[in-house]
Structure 1
């Protein structure tokens, strides 16, 4: 009875073994009983974290009772290797043929395994983490897997197709070229479905290894999107879905951003918003999207507000996008990209302006989020502001002034300024500011028209002028008869000068009337007009 050892394996099953036999193969148990134990009493060992549970322990015990022999194949090698590592069944026990050595030799043959056999072993390893990682078997299997993919996969045939959202790209009208492209893509992605059976932790290891071995980033990003969609179909809980999407986002963040489909990022965002993912992971996704805001569309930006919010669209999300877009500094962003984003944001502002729950501070924040250099005209901003003030008629005078202060009156067209001057929804300060801005423009035009160009130094760049209707007259010096055209130009300038003077009189008259109105509102006040919005 003294040689009987009871072993409780993870609470699953208890095994009654000969202590002498099992200790002769296990360094762990041998050291445990090295101080000796009373032979008259039964001994019991409890394992709470035995890798592979009772199935793995039974295979290990059979090895010990078979004088150190066991059949090792791809279906049990992961269990035997992790059990041997856990029980310290190596050369230290003095056995000629120890289990750890035998499994190591079998792993040396991994390069001869089929892909399906390799995936079977990896699947078994998923249940053995973290023991499979510490024993070294997982690293060897992953190296073999990624090495095979590197040999059989081909990078995307054209860099531009990597981040394209189109499903078909044609290099020429030749149907053979299209067929060749399809075959190339198929060869590069044949493993997508095979690897989708692995759990997120293993996928994270695989992708990290791919990145370190310079895999084609476009192919890796397509796989990650494929993996997320395929795993969501069978993921039973929101917790598991959250883990999947967080790992996918973290892995995408490692890749060259130009290789990732921008459209797919927004699809990922809409899924992530419903799963309440971690803050750091959400920031990474928003940074990836925000850095490429010039590729977005209005539909991309119209993201519904979070649950519990009373406003229609998630304005805070768009503001974070814009912050990411400018994170490298205004001067680091090309003007063309900046203007493209400004044009998109102007359309977005017009879309959210009718929202009765949109606060003035958020409305203004959208306007001033981009630098003034991003916009050549504020006409669209004015129209959106007009709509906002119409819907939010209950705003105080102070709130209206704060909203209107975000408008650049110098970048308003003459038509918009005339409309603003008659718009009762705007405060008096805004009307005066618009009039003063137009007066300044008229004086500038008048000054330019009083300085005619002589034919000798007449240049194309000097022939761009604005009349009171904001029309441009462009004269090409190389294509006109200087003598006849100079007389016509002089006549036109004289007529234009007369119209400018008339408009200036009207502007001064309107300014005088506004001054009287302001004084009539506070007859006892001797102060000058309020300071205009800068």
Structure 2
């Protein structure tokens, strides 16, 4: 017969007096009173535990793969749960007298190792309770209903007292308790162990480390380690390493325990910038250990699911206050969210949040690194998605400063253009993501394009034409136009267009200034124009047109000087 514990009772022990331990704050020795049968010793044979006394055992309890050969009286005198099961079995048993009752316990918190301590407690043996076993033992005591109703000083009250003592007194042991709760998650949450531990950590994190005596040296150590790293992770938020000494330990918590700590931290009124930086620190710690979808330790689908749920949890618990989280970290979460296909509504909320602060961002804020060895250094896809969201929001926000975003994107283009792994398609998509009216002129765009061509010398003519197609003569300054006409990295077709346009402008300028200049190379220009329409042009023809343009410039300069001299003479004789 299998007996499974399905209901958990709750009882508050907030009023209990902390148990005095053995002299060390992280260890307690428990010796129960009123033991009806004392065991001389416990013998272990493979998976069998045998309690040796003057009388033969009459009860077998199976926990996992182990069997415990025990006696009814010491067990049922301390456990209401086992008392009830033994009574039911005796009443319904058809077995012959003298045979041991067999009871199987399923899903006991802590398993065999914890039940071994319970058995020793029942038989009057002293047991060592530490930060690593107190939570499982406390949950097992609740499972087995070892309350004061049966006996004064029963296991629930003793473990409760020591558990509370550790949470209040020891920073290190609070995290050991967190770790021990991972294997008994359901019970630990139901009995409020995780919540209470989180509240204790939050209280200490929001208080001067010297306010609790046991771990001052430990806290000072982490403060020193943080200061050795140089820049504070909260640069620009007005807080420093003195307030972040607790980040490192909290970053080792599992996501559900970390959420509990953050919620408790928030309720204590800790600054939102500090909370945001703590979340960013935890994320960097965990996500750097397991690349998205590339972990070799666990199955890929499990890793994907874990990261998806974790990312959604992180986004939900972000502080909402302005400047509480950096734009770069929000972009990192957006990148992870897109890759992991998180909840679309949550993803949209994150996009809108980043878009709302985009105008105040710097180029460094937009640099989100890729993780693949064959990928470009920075992810431009997430920026393209962000820009689409931003300019979509602009329709309802006419006050948006699109030109500030234009300068920002051009700066980003110049930064990523140097990356040899950045494809033409990705670079062109980022260029096109910014509407033309978001730029006052295209000089910065031209510089970024020129840097891309310089970093990718193996591009064919068609690819260079694709990259440069966005450039327009009238949107460049005179200085940029001059550079275009002398730039051998640009496609010949674009250079020819700029040279011809420059010649036309020069000719108009000279005619408007009264010159009798006539183009002597009209046939050549007509021929080149036809070649341009067909996509055919050669370097020799471009060179000839450039020479003609230089000659026109020289004549225009002379004409201008003559005009100035005539105006001066007219003033003298006037």
TM over 0.5: same fold? yes
Structure 1, 24-33 or 197-206: larger mean CA deviation: 24-33
Superposition deviation, residue 17 in structure 1: 1.8
Against the structure 1 CA distance between its residues 405 and 510, is the aligned structure 2 distance closer, same or farther, given a 3 Å change threshold? farther
Structure 1, 190-199 or 509-518: larger mean CA deviation: 509-518
Q: Deviations over 1:355-389 (max 9, x none)?
A: 67654432321112122232111123234445656
1:414 is aligned to 478
1:17 is aligned to 70
Task: Output the TM-score relative to the length of structure 1.
Answer: 0.59
Q: Which residue of 80, 83, 98 maps to 2:137?
A: 80
1:95 is aligned to 150
Q: Deviations over 1:162-197 (max 9, x none)?
A: 985369x7xxxxxxxxxxx87xx62x3454456566
2:361 is aligned to 295
2:381 is aligned to 316
Superposition deviation, residue 103 in structure 1: 5.3
The answer to whether the Cα contact below 8 Å between 1:356 and 1:392 also exists between their aligned partners in 2 is no
**Matched pairs, number:** 433
CA RMSD of aligned residues (A): 5.7
Which runs of structure 2 are paired with 1:121-520 in the superposition (5 Å)? 121-150=177-206, 152=208, 165=235, 186=242, 188-192=243-247, 195=250, 198-224=253-279, 250-251=313-314, 254-256=318-320, 258-261=323-326, 278=340, 280=342, 294-297=360-363, 301=367, 303=369, 306-309=372-375, 314-320=379-385, 322-323=387-388, 328-329=393-394, 332=397, 336=401, 338-350=402-414, 352-353=416-417, 358-386=422-450, 391=457, 394-396=460-462, 402-417=466-481, 420=484, 425-426=490-491, 428=493, 501-502=512-513, 515-519=526-530
Structure 1, 373-382 or 497-506: larger mean CA deviation: 497-506
CA distance in 2, matches of 1:285, 1:162: 29
Q: Secondary structure at the match of 1:8?
A: strand
The answer to whether the Cα contact below 8 Å between 2:146 and 2:154 also exists between their aligned partners in 1 is yes
CA distance in 2, matches of 1:370, 1:522: 28
The answer to whether the Cα contact below 8 Å between 1:417 and 1:438 also exists between their aligned partners in 2 is no
Against the structure 1 CA distance between its residues 119 and 149, is the aligned structure 2 distance closer, same or farther, given a 3 Å change threshold? same
2:61 is aligned to 7
Superposition deviation, residue 298 in structure 1: 5.6
Structure 2: gaps spanning 5 or more residues = 1-54, 211-230, 535-574
The answer to whether the Cα contact below 8 Å between 2:194 and 2:257 also exists between their aligned partners in 1 is no
CA distance in 2, matches of 1:222, 1:364: 34
Q: Deviations over 1:252-283 (max 9, x none)?
A: 761246123567789x89xx99xx98554997
Q: Secondary structure at the match of 1:129?
A: helix
